[in-house]
Protein backbone atom coordinates (compact mmCIF):
# COMPACT_ATOMS: atom_id res chain seq x y z
CA UNK A 1 0.00 0.00 0.00
CA UNK A 2 1.24 3.48 -0.92
CA UNK A 3 0.26 6.43 1.28
CA UNK A 4 0.57 9.95 -0.08
CA UNK A 5 0.62 12.88 2.32
CA UNK A 6 -0.13 16.33 0.99
CA UNK A 7 0.84 19.47 2.86
CA UNK A 8 -1.02 22.71 2.32
CA UNK A 9 1.24 24.79 4.51
CA UNK A 10 1.67 25.00 8.23
CA UNK A 11 -2.02 25.43 9.09
CA UNK A 12 -4.08 22.24 8.96
CA UNK A 13 -7.32 22.64 7.01
CA UNK A 14 -9.32 20.55 9.49
CA UNK A 15 -8.02 21.86 12.80
CA UNK A 16 -10.51 22.63 15.55
CA UNK A 17 -11.40 26.35 15.53
CA UNK A 18 -9.90 28.20 18.46
CA UNK A 19 -13.19 29.57 19.77
CA UNK A 20 -13.47 32.69 17.66
CA UNK A 21 -16.19 35.12 18.69
CA UNK A 22 -19.06 36.11 16.44
CA UNK A 23 -17.47 39.55 15.97
CA UNK A 24 -14.13 37.99 14.98
CA UNK A 25 -15.80 35.69 12.44
CA UNK A 26 -17.83 38.55 10.95
CA UNK A 27 -14.71 40.76 10.79
CA UNK A 28 -12.75 38.00 9.02
CA UNK A 29 -15.64 37.46 6.60
CA UNK A 30 -15.94 41.20 5.91
CA UNK A 31 -12.22 41.38 5.11
CA UNK A 32 -12.44 38.50 2.63
CA UNK A 33 -15.59 39.95 1.04
CA UNK A 34 -14.08 43.42 0.74
CA UNK A 35 -10.77 42.31 -0.75
CA UNK A 36 -12.29 39.80 -3.19
CA UNK A 37 -12.95 41.55 -6.49
CA UNK A 38 -15.91 39.36 -7.38
CA UNK A 39 -18.29 36.88 -5.81
CA UNK A 40 -20.59 34.22 -7.20
CA UNK A 41 -24.35 34.69 -6.91
CA UNK A 42 -26.12 31.33 -6.82
CA UNK A 43 -29.85 31.08 -7.47
CA UNK A 44 -32.30 28.27 -8.22
CA UNK A 45 -34.58 28.05 -11.24
CA UNK A 46 -38.16 26.73 -11.35
CA UNK A 47 -36.89 23.16 -11.89
CA UNK A 48 -34.61 23.37 -8.83
CA UNK A 49 -31.39 23.62 -10.84
CA UNK A 50 -28.81 26.00 -9.42
CA UNK A 51 -27.18 28.70 -11.49
CA UNK A 52 -24.03 30.57 -10.55
CA UNK A 53 -22.65 33.74 -12.07
CA UNK A 54 -19.81 36.10 -11.27
CA UNK A 55 -20.94 39.40 -9.77
CA UNK A 56 -19.31 42.72 -8.92
CA UNK A 57 -20.79 43.21 -5.44
CA UNK A 58 -20.58 46.20 -3.16
CA UNK A 59 -18.78 45.69 0.14
CA UNK A 60 -21.12 44.46 2.87
CA UNK A 61 -22.76 47.11 5.04
CA UNK A 62 -22.90 47.15 8.87
CA UNK A 63 -25.47 44.32 8.94
CA UNK A 64 -23.53 42.34 6.30
CA UNK A 65 -26.19 43.17 3.69
CA UNK A 66 -24.75 42.92 0.19
CA UNK A 67 -25.94 44.95 -2.80
CA UNK A 68 -25.50 43.79 -6.40
CA UNK A 69 -26.65 45.14 -9.74
CA UNK A 70 -28.18 43.49 -12.76
CA UNK A 71 -30.32 43.98 -15.83
CA UNK A 72 -34.01 43.55 -14.92
CA UNK A 73 -34.43 41.19 -17.90
CA UNK A 74 -31.75 38.78 -16.67
CA UNK A 75 -32.31 35.15 -15.76
CA UNK A 76 -31.27 35.82 -12.16
CA UNK A 77 -34.14 38.29 -11.71
CA UNK A 78 -36.67 35.69 -12.86
CA UNK A 79 -35.11 33.13 -10.52
CA UNK A 80 -35.10 35.50 -7.52
CA UNK A 81 -38.76 36.33 -8.15
CA UNK A 82 -39.53 32.60 -8.02
CA UNK A 83 -37.26 31.79 -5.07
CA UNK A 84 -35.57 34.61 -3.13
CA UNK A 85 -33.22 32.27 -1.24
CA UNK A 86 -29.73 32.82 -2.67
CA UNK A 87 -26.10 32.11 -1.87
CA UNK A 88 -23.11 34.40 -2.31
CA UNK A 89 -19.65 32.83 -2.46
CA UNK A 90 -16.38 34.76 -2.09
CA UNK A 91 -13.00 33.07 -2.52
CA UNK A 92 -9.51 34.32 -1.70
CA UNK A 93 -7.07 31.89 -3.28
CA UNK A 94 -3.96 33.62 -1.99
CA UNK A 95 -5.01 33.32 1.66
CA UNK A 96 -6.88 30.01 1.38
CA UNK A 97 -10.03 31.70 2.60
CA UNK A 98 -13.69 31.81 1.65
CA UNK A 99 -17.04 33.19 2.76
CA UNK A 100 -20.44 31.75 1.97
CA UNK A 101 -23.49 33.91 2.65
CA UNK A 102 -26.91 32.27 2.62
CA UNK A 103 -29.63 34.87 2.48
CA UNK A 104 -32.80 36.31 1.07
CA UNK A 105 -32.65 38.48 -2.04
CA UNK A 106 -34.96 41.38 -2.74
CA UNK A 107 -35.17 43.26 -6.04
CA UNK A 108 -34.92 47.03 -5.54
CA UNK A 109 -35.79 49.59 -8.20
CA UNK A 110 -35.69 52.70 -6.00
CA UNK A 111 -34.05 55.73 -7.64
CA UNK A 112 -32.24 56.85 -4.46
CA UNK A 113 -30.89 53.38 -3.72
CA UNK A 114 -29.79 53.02 -7.33
CA UNK A 115 -27.91 56.32 -7.07
CA UNK A 116 -26.22 55.18 -3.84
CA UNK A 117 -25.24 51.85 -5.35
CA UNK A 118 -23.66 52.83 -8.62
CA UNK A 119 -20.15 52.32 -10.02
CA UNK A 120 -19.02 54.57 -12.84
CA UNK A 121 -17.36 51.64 -14.63
CA UNK A 122 -20.86 50.21 -15.17
CA UNK A 123 -21.86 52.93 -17.68
CA UNK A 124 -21.19 50.61 -20.61
CA UNK A 125 -23.35 47.84 -19.12
CA UNK A 126 -26.29 50.05 -18.15
CA UNK A 127 -26.59 52.85 -20.73
CA UNK A 128 -30.14 53.62 -19.55
CA UNK A 129 -29.99 53.44 -15.75
CA UNK A 130 -33.74 53.91 -15.35
CA UNK A 131 -34.63 50.98 -17.60
CA UNK A 132 -31.57 48.69 -17.62
CA UNK A 133 -30.37 48.85 -14.00
CA UNK A 134 -31.89 46.97 -11.07
CA UNK A 135 -30.48 46.28 -7.60
CA UNK A 136 -30.40 43.01 -5.71
CA UNK A 137 -30.28 43.36 -1.93
CA UNK A 138 -29.11 40.20 -0.14
CA UNK A 139 -29.95 40.05 3.56
CA UNK A 140 -27.91 37.32 5.26
CA UNK A 141 -29.43 34.51 7.28
CA UNK A 142 -26.24 32.45 7.71
CA UNK A 143 -22.54 33.09 7.08
CA UNK A 144 -19.79 30.50 6.87
CA UNK A 145 -16.14 31.54 6.91
CA UNK A 146 -12.79 29.82 6.59
CA UNK A 147 -9.51 31.74 6.74
CA UNK A 148 -6.59 29.36 7.17
CA UNK A 149 -4.05 32.14 7.75
CA UNK A 150 -6.07 33.32 10.76
CA UNK A 151 -6.66 29.78 11.99
CA UNK A 152 -10.39 29.98 11.24
CA UNK A 153 -10.97 26.49 9.90
CA UNK A 154 -13.57 23.74 9.86
CA UNK A 155 -14.30 21.19 12.56
CA UNK A 156 -11.66 18.44 12.69
CA UNK A 157 -14.19 15.63 12.15
CA UNK A 158 -17.07 17.07 10.15
CA UNK A 159 -15.14 19.85 8.35
CA UNK A 160 -18.16 22.07 9.12
CA UNK A 161 -16.95 25.68 8.84
CA UNK A 162 -17.42 28.25 11.59
CA UNK A 163 -20.90 29.71 11.15
CA UNK A 164 -22.69 32.91 12.16
CA UNK A 165 -26.49 33.05 12.22
CA UNK A 166 -28.34 36.31 11.62
CA UNK A 167 -31.72 37.25 13.07
CA UNK A 168 -34.66 37.02 10.71
CA UNK A 169 -35.34 40.36 9.05
CA UNK A 170 -38.74 41.95 9.33
CATH number at residue 146: 2.30.110.10
> Would residue 88 count as lying in a domain?
yes
Q: What is the value of pTM for the model shown?
A: 0.87
> Would residue 83 count as lying in a domain?
yes
Average pLDDT over residues 75-93: 97
> Would residue 26 count as lying in a domain?
no
The count of domains in the chain is 1
pLDDT the model gives residue 18: 61
Band (61; pLDDT cuts 50, 70, 90): very high
What is the residue-averaged pLDDT of the chain? 89
Q: Count Cβ atoms within 10 A of the Cβ of residue 17 and give its class: 0-12 exposed, 13-18 middle, 19 or more buried.
A: middle
> Would residue 139 count as lying in a domain?
yes
Average pLDDT over residues 20-47: 97
> Would residue 19 count as lying in a domain?
no
> Would residue 69 count as lying in a domain?
yes
Average pLDDT over residues 68-91: 97
> Would residue 23 count as lying in a domain?
no
Average pLDDT over residues 73-85: 97
pLDDT the model gives residue 170: 62
> Would residue 30 count as lying in a domain?
no
Q: For 100-110, how does the pLDDT look when each residue is reduced to its tens digit (9 = 90+)?
A: 999 999 999 99
Q: For 110-152, how does the pLDDT look when each residue is reduced to its tens digit (9 = 90+)?
A: 999 999 999 999 999 999 988 999 999 999 999 999 999 999 9
Amino acid sequence: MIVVLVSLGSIPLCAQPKGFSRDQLVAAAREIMTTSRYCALITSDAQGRTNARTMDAFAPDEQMIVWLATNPRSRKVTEIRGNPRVTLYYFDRENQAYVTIHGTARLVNDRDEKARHWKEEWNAFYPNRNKDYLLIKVVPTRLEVVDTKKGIVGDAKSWRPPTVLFPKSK
